[in-house]
Amino acid sequence: MNPPPTQPVTFGEALDHYATLRPKEPQLLCALQDGSVATLTREQVRHWSNRLACALMEAGVDVGVIVPIDLPTGNTFLVAAAAVFKAGGTPMPVSYRLPAPERSALLALAEPIVVVSDRGGDYPVINPMEHAYGDIVTEALPRRVTQPIKALASGGSTGKPKLILTTGAFEQNLGQIPVAQMLRIREEDLKYSPGPLYHNGPFWFSVNTLFSGATVLLNERFDATRAIELIEEYKPTVLNLVPTMMQRMLRAPNWKSADLSAVRVIWHLAAPCPAWAKRGFIDKFGGETVLELWAATEATGLTVIDGNDWLAHPGSVGKPYGTEVLIVDADRKPLPNGQVGEIFTRFAGLDAPYEYRGSAPLETVGEGFASVGDLGWLDDEGYLYLADRRTDMIISGGANIFPAEIEAVISTHPEVVDVAVIGLTDEDLGRRVHAVIEPKDINAPPTVADIQALCEQQLVRYKVPRGFEFVAQLPRNDAGKIRRSALRDERESCQ
């Protein structure tokens, strides 16, 4: 297959096209915990994903069917995603570390007919390793255009799980992949993506990199020193990071001496970046190389800023990219530049291309301006600044953590009257999760060990609070709602 650039192709067709052109070229690499690097060529990815796609289609996967991918981060994960796309299904990345209750709740929303996994569960499972080797699929697969494009799992702002579906048809013109063009990814690039693939950033960056004919380097688990070694040895040209990774790399013993000159583009996103970390990367790579992206999985809009622009506008997340921004007050009236309000955006003048399962849609104002709850302001030059990423949501190490989900677990303890989970400033993680608990008897509260064990049984590790404290009474406003800001401010002032 060698279609002209003007002919739209599916993700699977693009992968097969580049495999035909450069079959022996590495396409996927993953740095393993044992120090080795697993490699798959384009030819190997093509044949493996074809065999797996046939198994998925035999199980009933077709356009519109959500297929959870419950695997550790690695090459197999992206082969599985390719197979789901080839079968016409919608891939749904799932954290491999999720406790069984949370995993079951998310899978129930997807209503899957099959799950791609290497372990059993409540639904039929296809293990991709059982299709890693075998006969080459010689017959052409049916052409199926995936829609919706992907489904991302979220704990939800109410503490209940939800899925965020990216709507639309997943086919593009070769050499004209819009996301890849925006991210400045070229066909000859090697992109290093140290984050877990169940996060939207690493997953979506990697998918669009592969769609563009470029190569992806992963790691099983992020380690700052090892990451720097990989950059020196494999010379990736594109990185996508979260600020916690940047901070740990800056503190690594091999940071100053490392030759990282092959890197052309660095994207950081998912959480606010401390000024010292931003400046450290700008000093190492140059302002034109370090770029920040502010956006949401729902694709309501986005802003972009490079390091040079940031130095001239410190603290900004950039100017809108194909996006209109509206800042409004509590009554949803527009605010002038310089005043903090809720950020509503509209991408390319269109409604946001998303659907929720398990949650009501985002609030909108005007003609399709939507908000994910971020607060901020615009300056007179049109640069956007964030006052808070959301009023209640905690961003820790680049991961979104919703307090209500953790509170729902802690509140099940029989000796707990109420609980408020807040995020406290942390130099490494950005914010650390902290639980303030009102027990039935302040003189005989449950033990911290009991509460922690309860959380560890039902929550993925990064959501388990790093601190617990007991108070006689939680502060509340006139409406009876817990005053989270008061709890945060009091504890921040004592740090």
SS3 state of residue 296: coil
pLDDT at 495: 65
pLDDT above 70 for 122: yes
Distance CA 172, CA 214 (A): 15
Please choose, from the candidates 198, 112, 105, 199, the residue with its C-alpha nearest in 3D space to the C-alpha of residue 459.
105
For 424, other C-beta atoms within 10 Å of its C-beta total: 18
Q: Torsions phi, psi of 449, nearest 5?
A: -60, -40
Q: What is the pLDDT of residue 75?
A: 98
Residue 477 has a pLDDT of: 52
**CA atoms within 13 A of residue 9's CA, in its CB half-sphere:** 23
> What 3-state DSSP class applies to 106?
helix
Per-residue confidence at 253, pLDDT binned at 50, 70, 90?
very high
Give the model's pLDDT for residue 401. 86
For residue 437, the surrounding DSSP H or E stretch is strand 430-439
Domains located in the chain, CATH noted? 8-386 (3.40.50.12780), 394-493 (3.30.300.30)
For residue 160, pLDDT over 90 is answered with no
Q: Which residue carries 């959870």 as its tokens?
A: 68
Ranking 5-9, 305-309, 375-379, 441-445 by mean pLDDT, the lowest is 5-9
pLDDT confidence of residue 32: 97
Given this model, what pLDDT does residue 461 score?
Answer: 93
Reading the block at residue 234, the tokens are: 């494999």
**Residues 258-303 pLDDT 10s:** 999 999 999 999 877 888 899 999 999 999 999 999 998 898 999 9
Q: What is the pLDDT of residue 159?
A: 59
Residue 158, pLDDT above cutoff 60:
no
pLDDT at 478: 43
The pLDDT of residue 482 is 77
Which letter does DSSP use for residue 381 in this model? T
* Structure token digits, residue 339: 């005043």
Token pair recorded at residue 386: 């964030």
The residue to which tokens 């800056």 are assigned: 250
Per-residue pLDDT, averaged over 456-462, amounts to 93
Report the mean per-residue pLDDT for the chain. 92
* Most confident among 300-314, 348-362, 474-488 (mean pLDDT): 300-314
At 120, is the secondary structure helix, strand, or coil?
coil
The reported pLDDT for the residue numbered 480 is 52
pLDDT higher than threshold 60 for residue 3:
no
Sign for the pseudo-dihedral over CA of 50, 54, 59, 65 = positive
DSSP string, 231-280: HHHH--SEEEE-HHHHHHHHHSTTTTT---TT--EEEE-SSPPPHHHHHH
d(CA 290, CA 472): 47
Chain centre to alpha carbon of residue 447: 34
Closest listed residue to residue 203, CA positions, set 360, 69, 337? 69
Residues counted in the chain: 495
Tens digits of per-residue pLDDT, 71-118?
Answer: 999 999 999 999 999 999 999 999 998 888 888 989 999 999 999 999
Q: State pLDDT tens for residues 388-412.
A: 666 677 888 988 788 878 988 998 8
Q: pLDDT tens for residues 165-192?
A: 999 999 999 989 999 999 999 999 999 9
| Per-residue pLDDT at 4 | 47
pLDDT confidence of residue 1: 46
